[in-house]
Structure 1
Amino acid sequence: MIKKTPAELSVMKSLAFLAVVFQSALLYVMNDRPPHAEEAIMISILFQVVKFSAPVFVFLVGFHIAQQNEAIHYARYMAHKWRELIIPYITWSSIYFVFSHPHAFEAMKQLLLGEAAPHLWYVVMIIQFHLLIVAIVPFFRWLNEKKYWKLFIIVSAITYMGFITFISPVVQSKSYVHYVDRTFLSYFFYFGLGGMAAYTLPAWRKFVIRAIPLNTFLFLSLFIFVGYELFTSQSIFSIDLTTITYLRPSMVLYVTSEIFLLYGLSITIVQTKSLLYTALRFVSRYTYGAYIGHVFFLSMFVSIIPTTMYSLLQAVMLFAMTTIASIGMCYMIHATPFSVLFIGQARERRTISIPVFSKPKKGIPS
């Protein structure tokens, strides 16, 4: 049994998904349609702003796993995750294989390492946390019983920063060492942070809101520093957005600060009960299927985006069209027998209510 998910987590999940799609659109425009230098700088700044998606998703998985409050039947749990995560992953990987035509051995390698498309590494990484759930949940419960959460986060932060500092120089190498970026060890701090948030939710919410003034200043300072690292690593005429990797000490601090801000923003959006909140709640129902399938739609729309317009406008149009198509596809497929195959969710039975109009009786005003 899992506790009811706080509303702000649905908002965060949707924001993380939208950030992924925007990143993909910006990367495509930057790499395949080289913009002018001034446009490249603007695109780089926006890319840096939305570079929080994967750590936020890991944070959310840590939160959800920490909500397990009953004994876990491991085989049943993994069977559920097979349907929810792995089957759609295999389906969409197979679709991406149609375009890349890999040999059988290469296809298997790409499937195991999440290389069928640029964004699928995340699935390979996140499933490792689920595989370890029988060890994680008892450990989280022990931390909560002993009131060790603060100590755990401090020790985890120091250990994680040391680990990232050690592996950072080799992460972008072409050797097999490069694949350390898709192991759970490379993101365990965000996972632990999510676990702590789940167990200490009232105190966590209070801390996040109270820390907004100081954290905003910290975030802006880190934003400037990370941007400085990006623009001084190469010429502004040859900016490479792939250098903004999560596995750098400065990015760990930056993304952690951004997670706190996003959580506070999500609480604010929930409290408004606005149309934006309603839309984000709807999007959150389909984020996984839309996430793994969005590159397919992005590649479809690329050819119809005029190259004569500003590069940033191209990216925004590509983002909007891809988002609508990805979520729309998931919504439609959710009502078909192929729902599990493509989005990892059981078929949704929908009924359309037809209003009945009766003829008004005489003497009674209509």
Structure 2
Amino acid sequence: MQRPFTIPKNSVADLGDYLKMCACTAVMLQSVLALVLSTQPSTATQLGMGVLYDLVKFTAPAFIFGILYTSTRLSYPQTVSHYPQHLHQQWSALFVPTIWWTFAYLLIFPNVQQVTTYHSVGSFIWQFINGNAAPHLWYNTMMLQFILLMPCFWLLARWVNHQPSHAWLVTGLTIVGYAAWLWFYDANVWHGAQTQNWYLLDRLFISFVIYGIFGVLTWCYQDVLARWLHRGRWLIGLALLAVIGWTTQQLFSHGTPVSFANAPYYQPSMTLYALLIISVIAIIGWHQIRQQSRVLPVVHWLATYAYRAYLANVFWLQVLWRLGGQSLTGHPWLQIIGCYVLTWLLAFASAYGFHVAWSTVKQRLFTTQTAH
């Protein structure tokens, strides 16, 4: 008989799948809200959008947490000798889609560039690699660093697995180190003199390293954590409500018009919120995994295409905006609902469609080469 709160090792979907699916679904709403906010809706509408934006402001942490959880599960106990194979797999799965979609944004929708725009070959290359080609591509610049640093997380998993004292030490050092980073960022970038000069720090891996480390630790001790989270689920719910109140107060303390720039990830309230949301997703996900829910194949499918759908979402939002979304200005909630649903559908449809098309092309090329 299976022990209580033991997570099946051969489940169709894992916690990382749940986190990637939820993060991708929520982040598309961030894109829609930012675009609709640019139309300067009424103050009451802005306040409602601000609350909604804060509620989905967990996406990058959840993505990183989920990626490191699943990568550790699939690769443990690999060593540095497996690194070339790891890079080869991730090149086609992550790097190639990123390259193609970055080209698409820079060449088809150059108006969505951030901070500045390209005017030469050099500035084109700079916009390409720094994540400024579109509002959401900063995340890719940051996330791909974790893929390159994966051997470090393999070593971490080997060091803490079956060694609770090591896990507690890493947890303590991570919390202290990340708290110091948040203080540094607040003092020097967000509320400091280097807001413009050091903005690229938000796409440095260290700004999200706590979620990567905790993703590894969670895989190593998932049975224990599942039991703890289940027992403390009501406390987690109360804490989540309190933190939502905290983040909302912080955003609105800056007055109106509402600016989403006043809700950065790099503050204690947002860090707590992200970790609490991840905990809630874990409680739900692990419950369904233990019950072998019928939704597991759907969750896994959505997670498989989540990254590619994420890359595509701003592209399709721009298309929809030009085809009719912009004409709904004056009806912001209709804009938000319509653009969000259609963007989500088009993003996942294109992610799957391009995958099938490319797989077919590769198969035919391989068949042709073999025939010759």
TM-score normalized by the length of structure 2: 0.84
In the TM superposition, what is the alpha-carbon distance from 1:277 to its structure 2 partner? 5.4
> Following TM superposition, by how much is the alpha carbon of 1:327 offset from its aligned partner in structure 2, in angstroms?
0.7
1:86 alignment partner in structure 2: 95
Q: Equivalent residue of 2:357, what SS?
A: coil
1:287 and 2:306 matched: yes
1:104 aligns with 2:104: no
Q: What does residue 340 of structure 2 align with?
A: 319
Deviation at 1:297, TM superposition (A): 0.2
Write the distance in 2 (CA, Å) between the matches of 1:339 and 1:53. Answer: 32
- The match for 2:219 is 198
1:119-268 equivalence runs, <5 A = 119-147=136-164, 148-172=166-190, 173-233=194-254, 235-236=255-256, 238-268=257-287
- How many residues are paired up? 338
- Bigger drift between 222-231 and 204-213 goes to 204-213
* CA distance, structure 2, for counterparts of residue 279 and residue 139 of structure 1: 31
2:25 aligned with 1:18: yes
**Comparing 81-90 and 162-171, the one that deviates more:** 162-171
The Cα shift of 1:333 comes to: 1.6
Moved more, 161-170 or 274-283: 274-283
Deviations 1:161-208 (A, max 9, x none): 121111124334543311111111111111111111101111121122
Deviations 1:190-249 (A, max 9, x none): 11111111011111211222221111111111111111111012x23x110121110112
Q: Which moved more, 1:327-336 or 1:98-107?
A: 98-107
Who is 2:351 aligned against? 330
> Hey, what's the Cα distance between the residues in 1 that align with 2:263 and 2:51?
11
1:9 Cα deviation from its structure 2 partner: 2.9
Q: Where does structure 2 lack aligned partners over 5 or more consecutive residues?
A: 1-8, 111-116, 365-372
What secondary structure does 2:253 align onto?
A: helix
TM superposition shift of 1:95:
0.6
Residue 174 of structure 2 aligns to which amino acid in structure 1? S
With normalisation by structure 1, the TM-score equals: 0.85
- Looking at structure 2, the residues matched to 278 and 144 of structure 1 have their Cα atoms a distance apart, in angstroms, of 28
Query: Are the aligned partners of 2:160 and 2:217 in contact in 1 as well (CA < 8 Å)?
Result: no
Overall identity of the aligned pairs, in %: 24
Q: Is the 8 A contact 1:161 1:252 kept in 2?
A: no
Displacement after TM superposition at 1:134 (Å):
2.2
Change beyond 3 A, Cα 1:268–1:28: farther
The reply to whether residue 117 of structure 1 matches residue 126 of structure 2 is: no
Whole-Å Cα distance in 2 between the matches of residues 339 and 160 of structure 1?
45
Q: 1:42 aligns with which of 44, 48, 51?
A: 48
What amino acid maps onto 1:181 in structure 2? D
Q: Offset of 1:4 from its aligned partner? A: 5.1
| Pairwise CA RMSD | 2.4
Q: Note closer, same or farther for the CA distance 1:180–1:17 as it changes in structure 2 (3 Å cut).
A: same
Contact 2:105 2:134 in 1 (8 A): yes
Contact 2:15 2:285 in 1 (8 A): yes
Bigger CA radius of gyration:
1
Q: Is the 8 A contact 2:328 2:335 kept in 1?
A: yes
State the partner residue of 2:16: 9
